[in-house]
């Protein structure tokens, strides 16, 4: 005779979301055997099964075949958390993150030859710097180099992919201390299919008592995310002033134009090497700007005063600069160029781009010989870092514009003060030191990328930069 079946064992305790609830009784309900269900749907509704089925059949509903012309919100919230809603009070602050895929600089060091379209053109393998033996004791690594993050854009697409966006949201949400759920939304600003620019709105931001906005912009997790996905992230506080700017100030050399003017002048007299070395060190913040400027200007002694007319033919305006200035003017912005270069070219560039104000350094000219004396005009101030910041603030005050509606764009160390002083400071294709210290940075191919930071879409930008009929 078969042995009777043993009584079923009670269910094992399960791990709750929290370690304990507010009720001692609820914490121990899982140890009790389940209560048998004696009620049926008829008992609950108080109607017979036949009448219930008849009433449902009259609705002619088919949940599997919704009307394609009238798709409505189901009201169902899918979440791994207990709460079904995450309501936010009116006025909750928001952050806006603009993600730019760096299409001009793809990073794919681990492409397999079998999966590459250009298998024969793959670069040769190289030994990472610092990992090879050396006989120089000063160069021996004290510890193994930190592993580089695996580039993921070549696996999931050379654009801001869905997985890239999901990863970013996970990182941002993990930074809140104490932990809090965020409401998020996103817009593809250039195109919906394989977007290069995506705007993400997050609310509420991390508690500033634990993580300030400045620290969030420089957070190591975001920096690593940028390298993994080959993107750049620009974080801004959401407000009406983020979307509506009224004053934009630019550096000139290596920003609005691709040249360094003083280096171009030096070519005329054969001292380009000496001048460019000093310029590079000054722009990287290794030298005092005013002192280095005087030193470089001294090397220009004897250059014909009409050199600026000759330079106009070799000056290259940066890609997108014309379109950016045209769009900003149509939006009603005041524009200014604040340059550590020289006034004649700053004024010429302002005329070319429709810029309202031009401030730069004035070179002294010998009236008799019509050549440069190698000195600056003493009655004009040197346009250094502090002077640029001062001019930015005075232009805003003179036009009745709050600092939150001011944008500054530059690339050198002498631009850092004005980048930090503006409501939005953008380091455009900047020097290494500036990239690290500036509030935000962009390294795109066209300067009109800056318009995306105002929340404008590609269609908006096309309409703004269109030539007037």
pLDDT digit string (tens) for 176-209?
888 888 889 999 999 989 999 999 999 999 999 9
Q: Residue 136 — very low, low, confident or very high, per pLDDT cuts 50/70/90?
A: low
Res 74: pLDDT: 47
**Beta-carbon contacts of residue 148 (< 8 Å; ≥ 6 apart):** 128, 227
Task: Report the greatest alpha carbon distance in the chain.
Answer: 128
Residue 405 in 3-state DSSP? helix
pLDDT digit string (tens) for 388-422?
999 999 999 999 999 999 999 999 999 999 999 99
Q: Roughly how many angstroms between the first and final C-alpha of the chain, as a whole number?
A: 100
Mean pLDDT over residues 419-429, rounded?
A: 97
pLDDT digit string (tens) for 446-464?
999 999 999 999 999 999 9
**Whether residue 21 has pLDDT greater than 70:** no
Helices (H), 319-400: 321-330, 343-353, 385-398
Res 98: pLDDT: 98
Q: Per mean pLDDT, which of 76-80, 127-131, 233-237 is the most reliable? A: 233-237
State the Cα–Cα distance between residues 410 and 416, nearest whole angstrom: 8
**Beta-carbon contacts of residue 98 (< 8 Å; ≥ 6 apart):** 189, 197, 198, 199, 200, 233, 234, 236, 452, 453
State the Cα–Cα distance between residues 162 and 195, nearest whole angstrom: 10
Res 339: pLDDT: 96
Architecture category of domain 92-102+151-237 in CATH: 2-Layer Sandwich (3.30)
Instruction: Report which of 229, 217, 218 is spatially closest to residue 149, judged by C-alpha positions.
Output: 229
Tell me the percentage of the chain whose pLDDT exceeds 90: 55
- More reliable by pLDDT, 416 or 83: 416
Tell me whether strands 371-376 and 406-410 are parallel, antiparallel or unpaired.
Answer: unpaired
Res 432: pLDDT: 87
State the Cα–Cα distance between residues 457 and 187, nearest whole angstrom: 9
In DSSP terms, 407 is beta-bridged to 248, 424
Q: Which two tokens stand for residue 227?
A: 């390298």
Residues in the chain: 469
- More reliable by pLDDT, 66 or 357: 357
Mean pLDDT over residues 42-64, rounded?
A: 60
Res 300: pLDDT: 87
Instruction: Report which of 394, 403, 309 is spatially closest to residue 359, judged by C-alpha positions.
Output: 394
Per-position DSSP letters for 148-209, written without gaps between them: PPPP-HHHH-SS--HHHHHHHHHHHHHT-SS----EEEEEESS-SSS-SEEEEEEESPPPTT
- Tell me whether residue 63 is exposed, middle or buried, using C-beta atoms within 10 angstroms of its C-beta: 0 to 12, 13 to 18, 19 or more: exposed
Q: Residue 71 — very low, low, confident or very high, per pLDDT cuts 50/70/90?
A: very low
CATH ID of 247-465, from 3.40.50.1000, 1.10.132.20, 3.40.640.10, 1.10.150.130:
3.40.50.1000
pLDDT digit string (tens) for 349-397?
999 999 999 999 999 999 999 999 999 999 999 999 999 999 999 999 9
Instruction: Report which of 402, 262, 444 is spatially closest to residue 339, judged by C-alpha positions.
Output: 262
DSSP type of residue 253: B
pLDDT digit string (tens) for 321-341?
999 999 999 999 999 999 999
Compute how many other C-beta atoms are within 10 angstroms of the C-beta atom of residue 54: 11
Tell me whether strands 197-203 and 334-342 are parallel, antiparallel or unpaired.
Answer: unpaired
Mean pLDDT over residues 140-168, rounded?
A: 81
Per-position DSSP letters for 48-68, written without gaps between them: -HHHHHHHHHTT---TTS--T
Q: Residue 84 — very low, low, confident or very high, per pLDDT cuts 50/70/90?
A: very low
Res 156: pLDDT: 87
- Would you list the domain boundaries of the chain? 92-102+151-237, 247-465
State the Cα–Cα distance between residues 190 and 34, nearest whole angstrom: 56
In contact, 150 and 110? CB cutoff 8 Å: yes
Element (H, E) at 422: none
| Upstream peptide bond of 304 is cis (omega within 30 degrees of 0) | no
Compute how many other C-beta atoms are within 10 angstroms of the C-beta atom of residue 387: 20
Q: Residue 251 — very low, low, confident or very high, per pLDDT cuts 50/70/90?
A: very high
Q: Which residue is associated with the tokens 């004649």?
A: 344
Mean pLDDT over residues 243-263, rounded?
A: 95
Residue 424 in 3-state DSSP? strand
**Whether residue 145 has pLDDT greater than 80:** no
Mean pLDDT over residues 430-452, rounded?
A: 94
Whether 247-465 and 92-102+151-237 are alike in CATH topology: the answer is no
State the Cα–Cα distance between residues 448 and 458, nearest whole angstrom: 10
Res 40: pLDDT: 64
Q: Active-site residue numbers? A: 251, 253
Instruction: Report which of 348, 372, 353 is spatially closest to residue 362, judged by C-alpha positions.
Output: 372
Q: Which two tokens stand for residue 242?
A: 């983020």
Q: Which two tokens stand for residue 209?
A: 């008592």
CA angle, 364 then 366 then 372, to 5°:
55
């Amino acid at each position: 005779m078969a042995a009777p079946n043993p009584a079923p064992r009670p269910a094992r305790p399960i791990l709750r979301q929290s370690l304990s609830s507010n009720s001692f009784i609820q914490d121990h309900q899982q140890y009790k055997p389940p209560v048998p269900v004696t009620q049926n749907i008829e008992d609950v509704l108080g109607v017979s099964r036949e009448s219930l089925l008849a009433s449902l059949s009259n609705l002619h509903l088919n949940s599997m075949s919704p009307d394609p012309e009238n798709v409505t919100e189901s009201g169902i919230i899918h979440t791994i958390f207990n709460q079904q809603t995450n309501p936010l009070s009116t006025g909750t602050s928001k952050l806006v993150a603009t993600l730019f895929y760096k299409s001009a600089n793809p990073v794919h060091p681990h492409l397999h030859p079998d999966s590459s379209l250009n298998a024969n053109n793959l670069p040769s393998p190289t030994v990472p710097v610092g990992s090879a033996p050396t006989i120089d004791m000063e160069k021996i690594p004290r510890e193994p180099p930190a592993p580089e993050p695996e580039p993921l854009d070549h696996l999931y697409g050379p654009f801001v992919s869905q997985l890239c966006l999901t990863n970013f949201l996970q990182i941002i949400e993990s930074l809140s201390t104490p932990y809090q759920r965020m409401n998020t939304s996103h817009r593809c600003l250039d195109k919906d299919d394989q977007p290069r620019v995506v705007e993400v709105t997050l609310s509420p931001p991390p508690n500033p008592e634990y993580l300030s906005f400045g620290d969030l912009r420089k957070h190591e997790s975001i920096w690593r995310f940028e390298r993994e996905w080959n993107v750049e992230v620009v974080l801004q506080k959401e407000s009406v002033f983020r979307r509506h700017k009224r004053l934009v100030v630019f550096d000139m050399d290596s920003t609005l134009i691709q040249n360094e003017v003083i280096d171009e002048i030096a070519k005329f007299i054969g001292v380009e090497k000496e001048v460019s070395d000093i310029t590079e060190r000054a722009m990287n913040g290794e030298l005092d700007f005013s002192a280095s400027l005087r030193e470089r200007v001294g090397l220009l002694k004897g250059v014909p005063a009409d050199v600026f007319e000759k330079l106009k033919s070799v000056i290259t305006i940066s890609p997108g600069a014309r379109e950016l200035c045209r769009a900003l003017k149509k939006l009603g912005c005041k524009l200014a160029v604040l340059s550590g270069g020289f006034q004649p070219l700053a004024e010429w560039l302002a005329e070319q781009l429709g810029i309202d104000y031009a401030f730069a350094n004035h070179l002294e000219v010998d009236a008799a010989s019509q050549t440069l004396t190698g000195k600056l005009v003493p009655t004009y101030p040197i346009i250094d870092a502090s002077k640029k910041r001062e001019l930015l603030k005075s232009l805003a005050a003179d036009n009745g514009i709050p600092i939150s509606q001011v944008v500054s764009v530059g690339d050198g160390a002498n631009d850092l003060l004005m980048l930090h002083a503006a409501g939005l400071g953008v380091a455009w294709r900047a020097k290494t030191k500036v990239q690290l210290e500036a509030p935000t940075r962009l390294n795109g191919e066209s300067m009109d990328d800056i318009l995306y930071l105002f929340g404008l879409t590609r269609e908006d930008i096309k309409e703004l930069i269109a030539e007037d009929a």
